[in-house]
Structure 1
Amino acid sequence: MKYRRLGKTDLKVSVVGVGTWQFGGDWGKDFKQSEVDAILDKAQDVGINLIDTAECYGPHHLSESFIGDYLSRHNREDWVIASKFGHHWEEEWSHAWKVDDVNKQLDDSLKALQTDYIDLYQFHSGADEDFDNDDLWTMLDKEMQAGKIRNLGISIGSNQNIYQTKQATDRNASAIQVVYNRLQQEPEDEVFPSCLEQDLGVLARVPLASGFLSGKYHPGVKFEDKVRSRRDQEEIDIQLKMVEQIKAREVPEGVDMAKWALAWCLKHDAVSCVIPGCKSPEQVEMNAAAADLDIVSDDHPSTWK
């Protein structure tokens, strides 16, 4: 495993992390605690130290609760925990951007995660009008001073949201999370240059394009999970045809396409860590192997072996 500094923070993060949206049940599988334990055990075995989650990944902080149960039986200091705020899911899913709501979300997340602090607490895909709330950021700064939050981040909802990205330093945020993969390269235009200028860490989410870049699917496939089944079938088929062309033209013979797709993201100087989801220890091990591909350079400005 290789490690990179997360922007201007003192966090040293594995270049491959564990995304945990799937623990909430939206990706076609309901997890048991034993299955989450096996995934996180394998992650630690292969050198992964970053877990990315959110308060709305499953009802009642479900994903965070799985992680918290695991952390309660392991060394908290071994892990970099990144979570998010701004949405709420109990009986139904809703936005929650008021200062008091976010303050409660923070306390509820800490309780679910069974920890005293969150390493990276991220504004979660909110509108610019929600972002432009000085009282919110003042409250978050106070919670940093209180030790509940170690660092702030911004998970931008649009790949081209340069408005929020440019204000990161002024908001005391040290990292940006954005969708970035071989099919979605928009962050390279404005977001990444701004991140490099401000020395912001970058977490690349959806690095496998919702599984499209795994190489497992072909045009005509019908998805049944809650996330991909909502997408237009024509759009799915167009993207999967693009994936077939990418595999034929760009992926070296004998190289697993999923590993290649993760390594492709990591070759950009702005990217600190990719956070693919995973449903099994075997997928964790496969994801981690991307760090060893030749296109993941040791010369990245913030890489340690």
Structure 2
Amino acid sequence: MNYRNLGETGMRVSEISLGTWAFGGDWGSVSEDDAYAALNRAVDLGVNFLDTADVYGDGRSERLIGRLLKDRTNDEIFVATKAGRRLDPHTAEGYNAENLTAFVERSLNNLGVEALDLLQLHCPPTEAYRQDETFGALDELQEAGKIKNHGVSVEKVEEARMALEYPSVKTVQIIFNVFRQKPAEEFLPLAEERDVGILARVPLASGLLSGKMSADRRFDEGDHRNFNRNGEAFDKGETFSGVDFETGLRAAEELKELVPDGATLAQFALRWILMHPAVSCAIPGGKNPSQVEDNVAAAEMAPLSDEVMKRAREIYDASVRPQVHHLW
């Protein structure tokens, strides 16, 4: 495993880390045994950074990680969580000191820690990035020793750029993958200049870039890839990166021609992300140890050639870009 600096946080994180949304729901059923085995396998393989949120399974994901932290006290494990999506209604005004403090206290209890390594605003409405009160509240929580660092998880490049106006923002989590290349043009250079840590989420486009999907694939009723394809529950961009399923399948087939012998499309997609030095880590999910092992193997791949990177961009430009580039 290779490690990169997470901006100015002082954390050196595994470049392939682990996102734990699947442990909380919206991805079909994942047993507690499978989830916990996946967490342990990730740490065994050198993963030292876990991304979660207070709404994943109404705290289930955080509590599983808390169990891991208790069981593996000799391992250095950094945990990033998120707050804000418990708001109902989910409004910018709700991102205030009172609510954020309550969310932090709940996450501290779920994780069984005294301070959060990293707290991220969880894709708040765009207006929240104009609220000094919101970021002032995060500063106060940090001064009180409740959080060690804070950042944002965003939907749009515009929001990422807005977040950089606040000097105390140390990380930005953003959807970045072969099917969502806009950040490489309009945000990553700014983040690198500011030395802000970048967490690349949805790195496999909700499985479209796994190379294992076909047109007849059916998803469980409780899987967001079934119920959120058009943004019925949350931002459409979180599901298949906003790409039409059939379009994504065709583009994935073209990308398979670029995959080196002995590698999978998923590993290629993760390696593509790591070719961008501004990225601190990619955070693919993994429902079981086998998926974790496949993802971590991407860290051992040789760098992709300029020719391959160029061809991947051409595939994006031809079919995917018209659907996503102007929206996020």
**TM-score, with structure 1 as normaliser:** 0.89
Shift of 1:135: 2.2
Find the counterpart in structure 2 of residue 193 from structure 1: 189
Kindly report which structure 2 residues correspond to 1:90-239, keeping only aligned pairs within 5 A, or say none.
94=90, 96-169=94-167, 172-224=168-220, 225-229=222-226, 230-231=228-229, 235-239=244-248
> Structure 2: which amino acid aligns with 1:239?
G
The correspondence for 2:254, drawn from 229, 245, 268, is: 245
Find the counterpart in structure 2 of residue 67 from structure 1: 65
**Cα distance change on mapping 1:291 and 1:264 into 2, 3 Å:** same
| 8 Å CA contact 1:179, 1:205 repeated in 2 | yes
Worse-matched range after superposition: 219-228 or 92-101: 92-101
Work out the CA distance in 2 between the residues paired with 1:174 and 1:271.
13
> Structure 1: which amino acid aligns with 2:70?
S
Work out the CA distance in 1 between the residues paired with 2:89 and 2:37.
29
Worse-matched range after superposition: 17-26 or 225-234: 225-234
Find the counterpart in structure 1 of residue 7 from structure 2: 7
The runs of at least 4 consecutive aligned structure 1 residues that moved more than 4 Å come to: 92-96
SS at match of 2:171: strand
Find the counterpart in structure 1 of residue 270 from structure 2: 262
Q: Which runs of 5+ in 2 are unaligned?
A: 231-239, 306-328
| 8 Å CA contact 2:255, 2:265 repeated in 1 | no
Q: Which runs of 5+ in 1 are unaligned?
A: 298-305
Identity across matched positions, percent: 37
Worse-matched range after superposition: 73-82 or 213-222: 73-82
Work out the CA distance in 2 between the residues paired with 1:202 and 1:35.
28
Work out the CA distance in 1 between the residues paired with 2:301 and 2:224.
30
Any idea what the Cα deviations from partners look like across 1:226-277, whole Å, max 9, x if unmatched? Answer: 31113159921111111101112x2123321111111110110111100000
The correspondence for 2:287, drawn from 272, 276, 279, is: 279
SS at match of 2:13: strand
SS at match of 1:211: helix
Work out the CA distance in 1 between the residues paired with 2:7 and 2:95.
26
Shift of 1:76: 7.4
| 8 Å CA contact 2:81, 2:120 repeated in 1 | yes
> Structure 2: which amino acid aligns with 1:258?
A
Work out the CA distance in 2 between the residues paired with 1:285 and 1:175.
26
Root-mean-square deviation (CA), in Å?
2.1
Work out the CA distance in 1 between the residues paired with 2:30 and 2:291.
17
Any idea what the Cα deviations from partners look like across 1:165-223, whole Å, max 9, x if unmatched? Answer: 43142xx0111110011111110121111101101110000101101100000234333
| 8 Å CA contact 2:96, 2:133 repeated in 1 | no
Shift of 1:138: 1.9
Work out the CA distance in 2 between the residues paired with 1:252 and 1:145.
48
Number of aligned pairs? 290
Shift of 1:43: 1.0
